[in-house]
Structure 1
């Protein structure tokens, strides 16, 4: 069938999940279809895709998933991978696993949440959509899974370590970051 294991891919040792079944989505304040979706319970049942085939679920991972949903330009994805693999000035990195599978192209936030495996224990899910990969800052979508499941903010990729590290150890809450977004809805720093 398919290999849903994590494999190493040369950039900074970030694991890349390949050949998995699942979908994840483009969502932000500019994408009204995602903002209008009701919050749904996290589950792992098959969800019909817009392409007429079913996908089962995103992979299990010991790291927070970063799911690519835009496949229009490989250079932008490579740039995001490099940013995520580069420590900040204090040496911090996000603990992430990259999901790079075209079956996830253009799916929504709710679809991604529905496709999380039952054993996914991370407080957030990250989506690399068209807006993120089309911007110099790479403002990825960070979806809250614990506080108010389904709500989201954008976080510039270079600052993803802050929300991922702090939420993973319950040092801060999603609200702390949501209250610190700029006028355009993007978190850049405190």
Structure 2
């Protein structure tokens, strides 16, 4: 299995659950909502149906150096069934397989900073809450996306 590459200055959003086309469309709309900048390269290829984090890590690990990815976002069963549609962000470089959830409202923040290498995956992963979900860098009383 070869992982697709995102377009320039975007992050890869790879669909692995094909149970609900309307949830996939809602996820894309939520990510793209109100932002003129393109942050995602969406891949909805049934060849990735049911792919696990480990199989994605293994696929990236077997790629030649120039084809390796640093991270990706997975639209898995949880993404499709949870009303918040949180993507699974997966590290493929520094700590392959380390992951955290990202609700669409926070996707642009994470994607942009990772794409331009302004921040490292670990910084976002370490900021995830007790449920393993990133909801921004904030004080205890903040809860909404900044910007």
Q: Same fold (TM over 0.5)?
A: yes
The whole-number CA distance in structure 2 between the counterparts of 1:129 and 1:64 is 16
Matched ranges for 1:72-151 at <5 A? 72-87=19-34, 91=35, 95-116=39-60, 117-118=63-64, 119-120=66-67, 122-151=69-98
Q: 2:5 aligns with which of 60, 78, 85?
A: 60
Q: Comparing both structures, which one devotes a greater share of its residues to helix?
A: 2
Q: Quick check: which has more Rg, 1 or 2?
A: 1
Q: Distance in 2 between matches of 1:122 and 1:81?
A: 21
- Contact kept? 2:5, 2:69, Cα under 8 Å: no
Cα deviation digits, residues 105-163 of structure 1 (max 9, x gap): 11111212333454345431110001111112111110112221221111112211111
Instruction: Give the count of matched residue pairs.
Output: 132
Moved beyond 4 Å, runs of 4+: 91-94
1:120, 1:96 → 2: CA distance?
A: 18
Taking structure 2 as the reference length, what is the TM-score of the superposition? 0.78
Q: Unpaired segments of 5 or more residues in structure 1?
A: 1-55
TM-score (norm 1): 0.62
Aligned to 2:114: 167
SS in 2 for 1:107: coil
